[in-house]
Amino acid sequence: MATNAQDTQENQQPSQKLQIYSTSSTGVTPFWREKYERDAKKYWDIFYKRHEDRFFKDRHYLDKEWGQYFTGGERKVILEVGCGAGNTIFPLVATYPDTFVHACDFSPRAVNLVKTHKDYKDTHFSAFVCDLTIDDLNKEISPASIDIVTMIFVLSAVSPEKMALVLQNIKKVLKPNGYVLFRDYAVGDLAQERFTCKDQKISENFYVRGDGTRAFYFSNDFLTTLFKDNGFDVEELGLCCKQVENRSRELVMNRRWIQAVFRFSDMSISCFSKKAAIKENLLGQENVEPKVKENTSKKTLNSIEVDISEGLAAEMFGILPSLDSEVIEIKLRDQNFKIDVLSREYQHTCKSTGLMLWESAHMMASLLALNPTIVKGKKVLELGCGCGGICSMVAVRSANLVVATDGDAKALELLTRNVASNLRPPSLAKLIVKRLEWGNQEHIQAIKELNSGGFEVIIGTDVTYDPEAILPLFETAKELMSSNCNGENQQSALILCHVLRRADEQSILASASQFGFRLIDKWHAGISSYSSQGIIGSWFPENGCEEYIPSTASSILYFHVQ
Instruction: Give whichever of 54-58, 170-174, 256-260 has the largest mean pLDDT.
Output: 170-174
Residue 60 · residue 94 · CB < 8 Å: no
Question: How far is it, in rounded angstroms, from Cα 437 to Cα 113?
Answer: 47
Q: In a 3-state reduction of DSSP, which class is residue 42?
A: helix
Question: How far is it, in rounded angstroms, from Cα 66 to Cα 71?
Answer: 10
**324 or 89, greater pLDDT:** 89
Question: How far is it, in rounded angstroms, from Cα 265 to Cα 262?
Answer: 9
Question: How far is it, in rounded angstroms, from Cα 467 to Cα 498?
Answer: 13
**138 or 1, greater pLDDT:** 138
Does residue 404 carry a pLDDT above 50?
A: yes
User: Which pLDDT value is given to residue 353?
Assistant: 60
- Residues 245-291 have pLDDT tens digits of 655 555 566 778 899 999 998 654 334 443 444 343 433 333 333 33
**What secondary structure does DSSP assign to 331-394, as a single string?**
EETTEEEEEEEE-HHHHTT-S-GGGS--HHHHHHHHHHHH-GGGTTTSEEEEES-TTT-HHHHH
Question: How far is it, in rounded angstroms, from Cα 520 to Cα 540?
Answer: 17
Whether residue 426 is preceded by a cis peptide bond, meaning omega within 30 degrees of 0, is yes
Contacts of 88 (CB under 8 A, 6+ apart): 59, 62, 80, 150, 152
Question: How far is it, in rounded angstroms, from Cα 384 to Cα 354?
Answer: 8
User: Which pLDDT value is given to residue 269?
Assistant: 39
Residue 264 · residue 183 · CB < 8 Å: no
User: Which pLDDT value is given to residue 327?
Assistant: 84
Does residue 22 carry a pLDDT above 70?
A: no
Q: Binning pLDDT at 50, 70 and 90, where does residue 324 land? A: low
**357 or 455, greater pLDDT:** 455
**307 or 483, greater pLDDT:** 483
Q: Binning pLDDT at 50, 70 and 90, where does residue 212 land? A: confident
Among 180-189, 226-235, 357-366, the range scoring the smallest mean pLDDT is 357-366
Which regions of the chain carry the CATH code 3.40.50.150?
Answer: 2-21+321-561, 30-316
Query: For the chain, what is the mean pLDDT?
Result: 81
Residue 463 · residue 423 · CB < 8 Å: no
User: Which pLDDT value is given to residue 525?
Assistant: 84
User: Which pLDDT value is given to residue 391?
Assistant: 96
User: Which pLDDT value is given to residue 326?
Assistant: 77
User: Which pLDDT value is given to residue 174?
Assistant: 97
Q: Binning pLDDT at 50, 70 and 90, where does residue 403 land? A: very high
**Which amino acid makes up residue 239?**
L
Among 16-25, 77-86, 139-148, 195-204, the range scoring the smallest mean pLDDT is 16-25
**For 283, which DSSP code?**
T
Q: What is the homologous superfamily of the domain 30-316 according to CATH?
A: Vaccinia Virus protein VP39 (3.40.50.150)
| CATH code for the structural domain at 2-21+321-561 | 3.40.50.150
Q: Kindly tell me the burial class for residue 129, based on how many C-beta atoms sit within 10 Å of its own C-beta (0-12, 13-18, 19 or more).
A: middle
Indicate the pTM of the whole model. Answer: 0.53
User: Which pLDDT value is given to residue 345?
Assistant: 52
Residue 129 · residue 105 · CB < 8 Å: yes
